[in-house]
Structures are given as C-alpha cells and as structure tokens.
Amino acid sequence: MSLSLLCLIIILKVFSGQILTCHPAEYLTAGRCCPRCLAGSRVETDCTEFRSTSCLPCTDGTYMNHPTGLKYCLTCANCDAGSGLQIKTSCTSTSNTVCQPLEGFYCMDSTEDGCVKALKHTSCQPGQYIRQKGTALRNTECTDCSDGTFSNGTFTSCQPHTQCESPKPRLIKPGTASADAECGKEKLNVTAIVICVIVVLFLLIGIAGLVYFRKKKSGKICCYFLYQTIQTLS
C-alpha cells in the first residue's frame, strides 16, 4: 500500500469520526453509537460489535430522569430543614426530590426541581402593620403606622388611637405607634396605701399601750393612798 493511500485512509477515518452522529436514543462512545439506558438506570458496559449496551438500575438515593449514556446515576437532592426546606415529593429512580419551604418560610432560590433555599418570613415590628402576608414564594411586607394610629406588629392594618371623652374618663397615657391610648381614672398606688395602713396601725397600737400603762400606774397610786388612810384611822 502506497504512503499516499495510507494517509487518505487515515484522513477519512478521522473525518468520519468527527462527523459521526447518533440517533437520539443512542450515545457516541469509542467511535460507535450505542443504545442509551432507559430512565431509572445507568450504563454498566458500553456496546460492542457483538453485544448491546448493558444497564443497571439506579440504587436508593440516586435517580436518572431521562435515557442516558452515563455510567452513574444522579444523587437525590436533600431537603435540609436548616435551609428552611421540607420534602414536597420524595425522590424515585426516575425523578429527583422536590423541596418546598417550611411553614413560615419563603423560597429565595429555586430550580426546575423545586426550591433550593428558603428564608423565614420577616416579622413586622411594633409600630408596623402587615401590608402583605408572606407566602411560599414571597416575603412578608411591613409598613409603618401613620400618626394617630398604632399596631403591635401582628395587625393587618393600623388601628386609630382611642379618644378619651371629656371630662371623664380622662387620658392616662397617650397612644404611641405601637400601643393604644389609655383612658380612665388614675390607678391608686397600692404600695403607698399599704404603708399608710401599717403606720396607722402602729400608731393605734402605741396609743393603746400608752393608755393601758397610764391606767395601770394610776391604779397602783390610788391603792397606796387608800392603804395609808386605813392605817392612820386604825
């Protein structure tokens, strides 16, 4: 065989390998087209001139969702509670796990296989109201209360401050953005009342004791004079 013919054969082989295309149900390997393994399985050994592709089913924790020429299955996703996720649909040999946000969380990163990461809904602060409740797809929206209204952070709208009617009840505590106004009579100081009662009781006990001792002392003096008078007369 001449050198020019050998070079031509080599060139034809190279170009034939580059332009070789396989059927969609096949994959290219080692210069030949081999049948793909079905979804839910992977390639164990490639086909040869004498046998077809050998396939193995995907094991637990792995999947393959389309016909493949790969020699490995894909790893199932993990719905991590630490990332605010829970399982919506469990993984099978032909489909990946589908994750969704936990209750009170919203998805901030999603793919065709579901949510990848979720965050907890924002909690509105006192002085704000919930303008839009959070869902699995969006965060809670909070808005500040306007003058003359209030919210503790859990209201869906700010409430107007109570107006104290004149002359009674009177305004005890003005309203703020986070609390309503307080009306009515001023609260008595219980501590001061208790102290006053105790002081009065001690004073009464002291006065009673003083009267008792004075009466007892006066009785003794009277008895002494009566005794001296009797002795004199006798």
Give the H/E segment covering residue 207.
Answer: helix 190-233
Amino acid 229: pLDDT = 57
Amino acid 205: pLDDT = 85
**pLDDT-flagged residues of the chain (< 70):** 1-19, 166-168, 186-190, 215-234
Amino acid 226: pLDDT = 52
Amino acid 17: pLDDT = 47
Fill in the DSSP letter of residue 203.
H
Instruction: Give Cα 160 to chain centroid, integer Å.
Output: 30
Report which of 151, 103, 101 is spatially closest to residue 131, judged by C-alpha positions.
151
The answer to whether 175 and 150 have CB atoms below 8 angstroms apart is yes
152 burial (CB, 10 Å; 0-12 / 13-18 / 19+) is middle
- Tell me: the pLDDT tens digits for 74-130? 999 999 999 999 999 999 999 999 999 999 999 999 888 789 999 999 999 999 999
Task: Kindly state the tokens that stand for 129.
Answer: 């109201």
Secondary structure class of 33 (helix, strand, coil): strand
Taking the C-alpha atoms of residue 52 and residue 66, their distance in angstroms, rounded to an integer, is: 19
Fill in the DSSP letter of residue 184.
S
Taking the C-alpha atoms of residue 185 and residue 67, their distance in angstroms, rounded to an integer, is: 80
Give the H/E segment covering residue 110.
Answer: strand 105-111
Record the pTM: 0.60
Amino acid 218: pLDDT = 61
The answer to whether 120 and 84 have CB atoms below 8 angstroms apart is yes
155 burial (CB, 10 Å; 0-12 / 13-18 / 19+) is middle
